[in-house]
């Protein structure tokens, strides 16, 4: 029996907020924690994309995917290799 809540725009927005909070924290974090925060942001955005797709919110799904790609690009250009 699956007891997970039904997808909603509110849950999608909550995941997006969590992703942005993790991304923002990445800038102030110790180098050893930056990758974890990037991974958290990516995880939350992936969940938000799933919900957007389930709700048929194509534009939101595309926007969230683009944001995830942007975060990965920032990570690769500014942080990759800092967590040794």
Q: Domain-by-domain residue ranges, the chain?
A: 9-79
Q: Which two tokens stand for residue 82?
A: 């800092």
The rounded distance, in Å, linking the Cα atoms of 48 and 54 is 10
Q: What is the pLDDT of residue 82?
A: 57
Q: What is the pLDDT of residue 84?
A: 47
20-56 residue pLDDT tens: 999 999 989 888 888 899 999 999 999 999 999 999 9
pTM, to two decimals:
0.86
Host H or E run for residue 36? helix 31-54
**Residue 73 burial (CB count, 10 A):** 10
């Amino acid at each position: 029996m699956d007891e997970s809540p039904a997808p909603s725009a509110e849950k999608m927005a909550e995941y997006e907020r969590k992703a942005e909070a993790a991304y923002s924290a990445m800038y102030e974090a110790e180098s050893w924690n930056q990758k974890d925060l990037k991974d958290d942001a990516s995880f939350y955005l992936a969940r938000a994309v799933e919900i957007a797709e389930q709700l048929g919110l194509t534009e939101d799904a595309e926007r969230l995917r683009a944001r995830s790609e942007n975060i990965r690009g920032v990570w690769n250009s500014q942080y990759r290799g800092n967590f040794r």
